[in-house]
Structure 1
């Protein structure tokens, strides 16, 4: 196992979960989807946040590990992840590609073709698409322009490019 801490950030449908799983296999490091920490999947309603103290406790447990891959769209509550990460991958996947993936994922979940903890409804998908557009066009660029972590940042528009930029290597430590 390579001792490296990687965080992947990008909009919904940018390919964070997909590339985190591939990197996890390539580097033999456990990856964590921060949605699993942020949202209360035990709730009967979609979009209910988990208690803040529980989220922070789980985040702290991940950070204390020697190696990890985390992925999520979140900014402020994951500041400790940004600080602890060796590399921060920013996925700048084109917005039309993200929107297509969001719709496909929704349709697969509704059809039962893909297991999901989420209880999405059509209205929620429309809200997600609007939020995601704002995130990609305004929030993420603002974060990048004003970030203290540009020295750790790797920006890609195709998530598979990261496989070439982060080779399995002992240069990260063992």
Structure 2
């Protein structure tokens, strides 16, 4: 089974990917770990495209996987290879609350802080996420070639009850 999960920041992608990974016994991959340069000491540095694409190709070449991320354009090969594409349509207010909570937990070291966010970065993320959820994601869903693979989910826990096989 190959599953791609897409949705805005704070929509529950990582949470659902981990739950599905445990339930189905399939490894999951956070595409943020590929897109953003994890070796950089600065926040917001992207991995070079050729390296990012190489890593994505390696993942989608596996027999089973769960890939999750907010990305739309560079992950086209993952969409094409996926058996199911889960689109998380979590309410924007819930996403914003989760973004703030995650930021606060990272600042006080309750949660891992591999992304090294700043307050300005969080404000930029909130603005970007609003546009993504209100414009970009609905536009993608409306004009997508992968509607036959798509599962729209507004309540993430309901996804665990669906038959994905």
In the TM superposition, residue 147 of structure 1 has moved relative to its aligned partner by 0.3
Cα distance in 1 between the residues matched to 2:53 and 2:153? 29
**For 1:63, which of 37, 60, 67 is the aligned residue?**
60
Matched, 1:15 2:12: yes
Cα distance in 2 between the residues matched to 1:83 and 1:103? 33
Equivalent pairs counted in the alignment come to 165
- Cα distance per residue 1:53-91 (max 9 Å; x no partner): 110100000011000000000001000000000000000
Cα distance in 2 between the residues matched to 1:130 and 1:163? 30
**For 1:123, which of 110, 117, 120 is the aligned residue?**
120
RMSD (Å), alpha carbons: 0.7
SS in 1 for 2:67: strand
Cα distance in 2 between the residues matched to 1:12 and 1:77? 17
The residue that corresponds to 1:91 in the other structure is 88
**For 2:160, which of 153, 163, 174 is the aligned residue?**
163
SS in 2 for 1:160: helix
Point out 4+ residue stretches in structure 1 off by more than 6 angstroms: none
Unaligned stretches of 5+ in structure 1?
none
In the TM superposition, residue 115 of structure 1 has moved relative to its aligned partner by 1.1
Equivalent residues in 2 for 1:29-108, closer than 5 Å:
29-108=26-105
SS in 1 for 2:70: coil
* TM-score between both structures, scaled by the size of structure 2: 0.98
* TM-score between both structures, scaled by the size of structure 1: 0.93
Cα distance in 2 between the residues matched to 1:160 and 1:84? 25
